[in-house]
Structure formats: C-alpha cells, structure tokens
Amino acid sequence: MMLLENLMRKKEKLAVIGLGYVGMPLAVAFAKKIEVIGFDLNKKKIELYRSGIDPTNEVGNKAIEQTTVEFTANEKDLRKAKVHIVAVPTPINLDKTPDLTPVEGASAIIGRNLTEGSIVIYESTVYPGVTEDICIPILEKESGLKCGVDFKVGYSPERINPGDKVHTLEKIIKIVSGIDTESLDEIAGIYELVIEAGVHRASSIKVAEAAKVVENSQRDINIAFMNELAMVFDRMNIDTKDVIEAMNTKWNALKFYPGLVGGHCIGVDPYYFVYEAEKLGYHSQIILSGRKINDGMAEFVADGIIKKLILANKVVRQAKVVILGITFKENCPDIRNSKVIDIIKILNEYGIKPIVVDPQADKTEAKREYNIELTQIEKVNDADCLVFAVAHDEIKNLNWEQIDTMFGDSDKSEKVIIDIKSTLDREDTEQRGYIHWRL
C-alpha cells in the first residue's frame, strides 16, 4: 500500500485521462483528497474547465472553480503521475461492433508517459478481455515496461448516472479488480478515498468487465419488455402507464417504464457483450431482441405523431411540430446517441422540419453534431403538435398557460400533445381539449 500512502502524503499524483461525464467528476472528487492531473485531448474542453465552467453540469461551475485539479491537454504532464485512470468513451461503429479507438489511443498516450511503479486503471466500458488482451500489450509496447513487474493494471467500471444528483459518484458501490492481489489492494484503497458506499472486490479483471456490460444489458432488456408492452397496449387502446401503476402495487414489481433508450451506456454496452459472445460462437437471442425493440422505438413514436396529426385534420407536410428535448436523458446536456434524433429524421422523411427546443443542450454542439438549430422555448408559437421528448425539469414544470401560448389561438381540438415521458396528466390534458398520446 506504499503507493496509496504516497498519494495521501502528496508525494505522488493521480491522473484521470478523459474528462467527460465520467472522468471529470472523478477527478474533482479525488482532488479533495490528493493531487490530481486531469487530461483530455480536447483543448477547448480544457480551457472551459480552467475558466471554471462545467460543460457537463455534473458537478457545477462552482466546484470547477474551486477544484485543485491540474487540467491539461499536454500528455507529457502524465509523467508526473503514478496512478492513471482511463475514463474515455467506448462507442460502437455503424455496424454495431465495438469501437475501441478511444481506449486504444488512451493506452498509447499513457504508455508513452508511463513510469516504473505505476498503476493503470481502466473505467471505460469494454467486453471481457479487452484490458488484458488489448490494452496491456499497448502499454507494454509504448513504454518498454513489463506489466506485473514494472507496472500494474486494474479495471473498475464506471457507474455514474449522468444528470442524477441523488446517486452520485460517492454513493455508488465501486467494483474494483487488479491483475494480482497487490494491485487489487492498492486500487481498492485508492477508490475508498472517495467512494463513501465502499468497494466490491471482483475476483478478476474479466469478472469486473463482464459485470459492467451485464448490468446495462439487464436494464436494456427490461426496458425493451416495457416498450413491447407499450406497442401492444397501443393497439389494444389501453393506457400503458395505467397498467404499470396497477402492476407496481405489488412489492416485487421492477418499476421499469417504456421510453427511448439512447446515450453512451445502455444503448451501447449490450453490443459489446454480444460481440464477444459471437466471437466465441454464441449468437445472442434475448439481448439482441431487446436491442432491436429499443432501437425501433423512435419509429414507433414518429408513427404515433403522424397518426395523431392526421386525426387532428392537419396537413402533415405543413404541420408545425415542436420537439421539447433533444438530449439522451433528462437533466443532462449530453446529446450523444440520442434517439430523439431518430424521431426527427423520420419526421423529415414525411416533409416535417420540427422546431427543436432544449434548455440543457449546447447549441453549438447540436449544430455541429446534427445540424439542428435549437430554438428558445419563449419563441415557440402557433404549434400544431408538442412532443414532450425529454423530461428536463424546465419541461416538466411548464404550466398550462405556457403550453397554451406555444399553440396559439387555434381550436384546441386540433392540437396534438405527444407525451413520450408521461410528464402530463392524461385526463387533465384531454379535458382541456387536446389530442393526447403517450407511451
């Protein structure tokens, strides 16, 4: 435990590589206890952090202003650290196969700046075997050092829930693993500095890697089940939320709800598990079926919008549709892999060019990533259809006066509300004369 002691005495430093929704809160948390270097290739992001701005909204500007993290885009600064935590994204390619480019790149950068006696810990979500079979060889090649002799490696999957101010980093049990007992003890001790909920010591790195992809795959499958029910209940003319509320009166109900499944975890991780399983000759049945259902929900919602516009006697191509929310989840500015984008693309095929509002998303990023111009909610008027797509607090807290204003003066019986997240009371909405549809 000599390395842990040296960290606590501030004789050594810890580096976090990748300062997004996972890495930045981790760096800030560790900086309250030890000296931390925060590294990211994105120089613009580094400048924002140095200016006291938190573009992720995970910890807030004040915490960034007060933190002692040494933010840098210079990889040579990593030579000052003895512990390296990798928190870069692990997306998928267009063919749904894992894209390991970011984690491979991070491994090469660390390898070029690795010193003897260091520990490298991976937090990026990967399929079982990536850390030992892909990352360690890169570290050894770039550094000229031998893993297990000159440096140690571990894996501790990130469990941050973006936008969640209740289940924060410190309050979620941390899974830790290492290539040997010595590294496991060091890694567990390091995380115990900041994780109030404690750590769970996995028996191997592969077990820790598998635990991460499985916990997200499990959630994906459960949501897929609810989405399938929503599609069936829609044909039966039964309100899905009413059914769920009745079902949830039983103590062992799982309390999942239908919805769009995007983002960089639940919508991605199952493909990592399936990829490795197929390499071993097993073709997934349940997991891929769940993914197919969830990936198809945008089309189901878009069809629902079109049907309701027709029932409201609207000329579809001329309909003014307003999308409220574009991020992948509520109270989070992250627009990566947002399934709301898929809804917009399908509406475009019908000749509809939706107006998009999102008080949390970054306007520049939305324009760059999707060529979408975000509109301020105060400027919305004469809408034919409002789509409550993301349950940001600013959207959930809209009152009826504000909603009425967005529609304007036309007959309410011709106004459509699509409530994907069930943010509005159905009976109240219908009593006010609106055409209402929800998952």
pLDDT tens digits, one per residue of 179-204: 999 999 999 999 999 999 999 999 99
| Number of residues assigned to the chain | 439
Instruction: Give the pLDDT band of residue 59 (cuts 50, 70, 90).
Output: confident
Instruction: Give the pLDDT band of residue 264 (cuts 50, 70, 90).
Output: confident
- Among candidate residues 217, 194, 212, 219, the one with its CA nearest the CA of residue 156: 212
Distance CA 137, CA 81 (A): 20
Q: At residue 134, does pLDDT exceed 80? A: yes
Q: What percentage of the chain exceeds 90 in pLDDT?
A: 81
- Among candidate residues 358, 302, 305, the one with its CA nearest the CA of residue 335: 358
Q: At residue 373, does pLDDT exceed 90? A: yes
Active site annotation includes 135: no
Distant-in-sequence, close-in-space partners of 339: CB < 8 Å, separation ≥ 6: 260, 261, 262, 267, 295, 297, 298, 328
Q: At residue 236, does pLDDT exceed 80? A: yes
Mean pLDDT over the full length of the chain: 93
What pLDDT is stored for residue 411 in this prediction? 64
Summarised one tens digit per residue, pLDDT across range 93-104 is 888 889 999 999
What pLDDT is stored for residue 416 in this prediction? 94
Q: At residue 218, does pLDDT exceed 90? A: yes
Instruction: Give the pLDDT band of residue 58 (cuts 50, 70, 90).
Output: confident
pTM of the predicted structure, to 2 decimals: 0.90
Mean pLDDT of the region 356-372: 92
What pLDDT is stored for residue 159 in this prediction? 87
Q: Exactly one of 135, 265, 332, 385 is catalytic; which is it? A: 265
Q: At residue 412, does pLDDT exceed 70? A: no
Summarised one tens digit per residue, pLDDT across range 344-355 is 999 999 999 999
Q: At residue 243, does pLDDT exceed 70? A: yes
Distance CA 328, CA 330 (A): 7
Summarised one tens digit per residue, pLDDT across range 16-54 is 999 998 999 999 999 999 999 999 999 999 999 999 999
Mean pLDDT of the region 210-223: 93
The angle at the Cα of 172, spanning 120 to 92, to the nearest 5 degrees, equals 60
Summarised one tens digit per residue, pLDDT across range 305-318 is 999 999 999 999 99
What pLDDT is stored for residue 265 in this prediction? 80
**Domains of the chain with bracketed CATH:** 2-202 (3.40.50.720), 211-292 (1.10.1040.10), 296-439 (3.40.50.720)
What pLDDT is stored for residue 78 in this prediction? 97
Distance CA 57, CA 367 (A): 20
Q: What percentage of the chain exceeds 70 in pLDDT?
A: 99
Q: At residue 214, does pLDDT exceed 80? A: yes
Three-class SS string for the chain?
A: CHHHHHHHCCCCEEEEECCCCCHHHHHHHHHCCCCEEEECCCHHHHHHHHCCCCCCCCCCHHHHHHCCCEEECCHHHHHHEEEEEECCCCCECCCCCECCHHHHHHHHHHHHCCCCCEEEEECCCCCCCHHHHHHHHHHHHHHCCCECCCEEEEECCCCCCCCCCCCCHHHCCEEEEECCHHHHHHHHHHHHCCCCCCEEECCCHHHHHHHHHHHHHHHHHHHHHHHHHHHHHHHHCCCHHHHHHHHCCCCCCCCCCCCCCCCCCCCCHHHHHHHHHHHCCCCCCHHHHHHHHHHCHHHHHHHHHHHHHHHCCCCHHHCCEEEECCCCCCCCCCCCCCHHHHHHHHHHHCCCCCEEECCCCCHHHHHHHHCCCECCHHHCCCCCEEEECCCCHHHHCCCHHHHHHHHCCCCHHHCEEEECCCCCCHHHHHHCCCEEEEC
Instruction: Give the pLDDT band of residue 167 (cuts 50, 70, 90).
Output: confident
